[in-house]
Amino acid sequence: MTRSAGLAPEMTEMVIQTLKQVVQRELPDSKILELDEQDVFPEELIRRLLSPDVGLHLIFLPEAVGGLGGGARDICQVSEEMATIDLGVATAFLAILLGTDPIIVGGTEEQKNNWLPRIAAGLIVAYGVTEPEAGSNVASLKTTADPITDADGTVTGYRLNGVKQFITNGGVAEFITILAKTPGGPSFFVVEKGAPGLSAGKKEEKHGIRASNTASVILEDVEVPAGNLIGVVEGEGLRQANAVFGYTRLMVGS
């Protein structure tokens, strides 16, 4: 799925004005300082931005699943506006787009129709790629996804093991897209909060951007159905990651 050319300028401006109004009401400068000083994730604000009456995240999502279908220009403008508020808040919120993008660029239509409407409804998402020994060099990842087969040899699921590090929203996400090695090569999987064996490590102590929750994600024999393999074909993860990075680095640069 490719992204659209973008919204009409007046629609983008309306989105930005909505963001400004919410922030003016709910995030005064004193609160921003408090969040940073106390190293607090602003869950109430993030939930407000994800709520049906604000729906800021919908600019990131395709129209087919209830989004606004924003293009690169629109998302860069929103990213710039969020960065003027607070980098921690911006990082926490925009990481939801990063975690969602593997599904947008690589998911089957069935997967998109299953997961994207749930994200549109307001889930906090994380992108689980970085590891202690693998950052942007995703070819070095150590996390594994071993196939689970039935008596006929059909793959019915995968068992994930590994550690992800420096994951934005890692300790609060309800939905994580995890990159792991399969027999066919690196592949993305959707892992949901509450899955047995999934846990968050200690929150990172940072010198700045402290309002964003950054933590390790630990996978110990986490089992997911075969349908949670994004694209349902092994080995597509690096291609999907490159497509994600090519787009979201524009957002980070904004």
pLDDT in tens, 62-94: 999 999 999 888 988 999 999 998 899 999 999
Q: What is the mean pLDDT of the chain?
A: 92
pLDDT in tens, 83-130: 998 899 999 999 999 999 999 999 999 999 999 999 999 999 999 999
Q: Does domain 125-235 have CATH number 2.40.110.10?
A: yes
pLDDT at 135: 74
pLDDT at 238: 92
Q: What percent of the chain has pLDDT over 90?
A: 73
Between 156 and 242, the more confident residue is 156
- Cα separation, 54 vs 98, in Å, equals 20
Band of the pLDDT at 250, cuts 50, 70, 90? confident
- Cα separation, 26 vs 180, in Å, equals 39
Task: Report the pLDDT averaged over residues 197-222.
Answer: 92
According to CATH, the superfamily of the domain at 9-120 is Acyl-CoA dehydrogenase/oxidase, N-terminal domain (1.10.540.10)
* Reported pTM: 0.92
- Cα separation, 178 vs 129, in Å, equals 6
Residue 167 has pLDDT above 70, yes or no: yes
Task: Report the pLDDT averaged over residues 9-25.
Answer: 92
Residues 6+ apart with CB under 8 A from 190: 103, 111, 115, 175, 176, 177, 178, 224, 228, 230
Residue 3 has pLDDT above 80, yes or no: no
Residue from 200, 254, 55, 224 nearest 144 by CA: 224
So where are the chain's domains? 9-120, 125-235
